[in-house]
Amino acid sequence: MNTIFKKINLMAALILLTALIHPAIAQDQPDKGLMIAEKTLEGYTLQYRLLNLEERKELMKGMEGMKMHGMSDSPDVTHHLVVYIKGADGKPVTGKIGFNITNPDGTAFKTLTMGMQGGYGADVLFKAKGIYKIRMKAVIASKTMDDEIVYEVK
Ligand SMILES: [Cu+2]
């Protein structure tokens, strides 16, 4: 009888531990999408990931129909661009983040982002082939940070 209780307790402890750890890990370790750039900037680490529409749908389950920054109702949306910004302590930061994208044909696309699972994301239209220049502006704790990456659609 005693060993059975011990086993039950052990099982309960393991389940509890997993339940406690999993969301934290899932939240802080973006694993969705294609990583298109990663760098450190002014003491922050920045990681840019490009989600295809399937991954976007999965990650934004329950947000259908909601109107928010970074959500476009254009039929030409091809991806969801997410930037994960972590402070020197390795923790995700919060702030106001926007993208200013120059398309291969020189036209510009500006968008603010929505906060999502430790990052900031927005719908983007990467339909045309060529190089997209992506400027990111982040205002974190009244400090402005500017960054630029490029992404090529082949
Ligand atoms: Cu999003």
Concatenate the DSSP letters of all residues of 6-54 into one string.
HHHHHHHHHHHHHHHHHHHHHHHS--SSEEEEEEEETTEEEEEEEEEHH
Q: With bands split at pLDDT 50, 70 and 90, how would you rate the model's confidence at 111? A: very high
How far does the centroid of ligand 1 lie from the alpha carbon of residue 147, in Å? 20
Taking only the tens place, the pLDDT of each residue in 71-87 is 998 999 999 999 999 99
Higher pLDDT, 31 or 121: 121
- The pLDDT of residue 25 is above 60: no
pLDDT given at position 55: 93
pLDDT given at position 15: 65
How far does the centroid of ligand 1 lie from the alpha carbon of residue 71, in Å? 7
Residue 83: exposed, middle, or buried by beta-carbon count in 10 A (0-12, 13-18, 19+)?
A: buried
What is the pLDDT averaged over residues 88-107?
96
How far does the centroid of ligand 1 lie from the alpha carbon of residue 59, in Å? 7
Residue 67: phi, psi to the nearest 5? -105, 120
How far does the centroid of ligand 1 lie from the alpha carbon of residue 4, in Å? 46
| pTM attached to this predicted model | 0.78
User: How do the domains of the chain map onto residue ranges?
Assistant: 2-153
- Assign domain 2-153 to its CATH superfamily: Periplasmic metal-binding protein Tp34-type (2.60.40.2480)
What is the pLDDT averaged over residues 100-106?
98
- The pLDDT of residue 116 is above 90: no
Residue 115: phi, psi to the nearest 5? -75, 135
- The pLDDT of residue 106 is above 60: yes
Taking only the tens place, the pLDDT of each residue in 135-144 is 999 999 889 9
How far does the centroid of ligand 1 lie from the alpha carbon of residue 87, in Å? 20
How far does the centroid of ligand 1 lie from the alpha carbon of residue 54, in Å? 12
What is the pLDDT averaged over residues 114-136?
95
Question: Which letter does DSSP use for residue 129 in this model?
Answer: S
How far does the centroid of ligand 1 lie from the alpha carbon of residue 3, in Å? 48
Higher pLDDT, 27 or 70: 70
What is the pLDDT averaged over residues 103-124?
94
70 Cβ contact list (under 8 Å, min separation 6): 111, 112, 113, 114, 120, 121, 122, 123
How far does the centroid of ligand 1 lie from the alpha carbon of residue 141, in Å? 21
Cβ proximity of 149 and 124 under 8 Å = no
How far does the centroid of ligand 1 lie from the alpha carbon of residue 109, in Å? 17
In whole angstroms, give the CA distance from residue 41 to residue 142.
16
How far does the centroid of ligand 1 lie from the alpha carbon of residue 57, in Å? 9
